[in-house]
Amino acid sequence: MRPEAQQPNDSGGRGLGDEFDTWTALQKATDKTRANLIADIVGHPEGAPSVKELDYMNPSLEADAIRRHLKTLQSVGVVDEVVVEPGERIRGYPYKFYRLTDEARALFDRNDLFPEDAWRRQYARVKKTGEITELEEMPRPTTE
């Protein structure tokens, strides 16, 4: 039985009117690699890491592979990309960050997946370089 699921649509995620397809979202989110990325997003102190931070947390993945997985998660409404406006960017620092959508957070909460407290504790245990610590402390753009 599918937890809190709707019937999958043929678009591979977002359907008519950009409806959130919970079944497809769960399918894409529970792939091992993507689940690890989601755990790192949830565990991040700001809840919105950059690819560089995700790359540090997942040394076996190349940045391009991380971007492909993030695109997949975006296509099904699990992750949103938030971007620093051009006039507010700092040279040499990331300007794209990734966070869970409200729909994904609600879905995960209903199904006891990716509990924020547990993943924040796990993320905090990882020894970070000075550069990664500095990136973690960067302000993130808000989504509206």
The DSSP symbol for 46 reads T
Rounded Cα–Cα distance for residues 98 and 24 (Å): 19
- Which of 111, 40, 47, 93 has its CA nearest to residue 69? 40
Rounded Cα–Cα distance for residues 73 and 99 (Å): 10
If one counts every other C-beta atom within 10 angstroms of the C-beta of residue 76, the result is 25
Q: How many residues does the chain have?
A: 144
Average pLDDT over residues 82-98: 93
Q: Where are the domains of the chain?
A: 19-136
If one counts every other C-beta atom within 10 angstroms of the C-beta of residue 24, the result is 23
CATH number of 19-136: 1.10.10.10
Model pLDDT, residue 3 = 39
Residue 10 clears pLDDT 80, i.e. is over it: no
Q: What pLDDT, in 10s, does the model give residues 18-43? A: 689 999 999 999 899 999 999 999 99
- Compute CA 24 distance to the chain's CA centroid, rounded to the nearest angstrom: 16
Residue 17 clears pLDDT 60, i.e. is over it: no
Please state the pTM of the whole predicted model.
Answer: 0.84
Residue 111 clears pLDDT 60, i.e. is over it: yes
Average pLDDT, the chain: 87
Average pLDDT over residues 121-144: 91
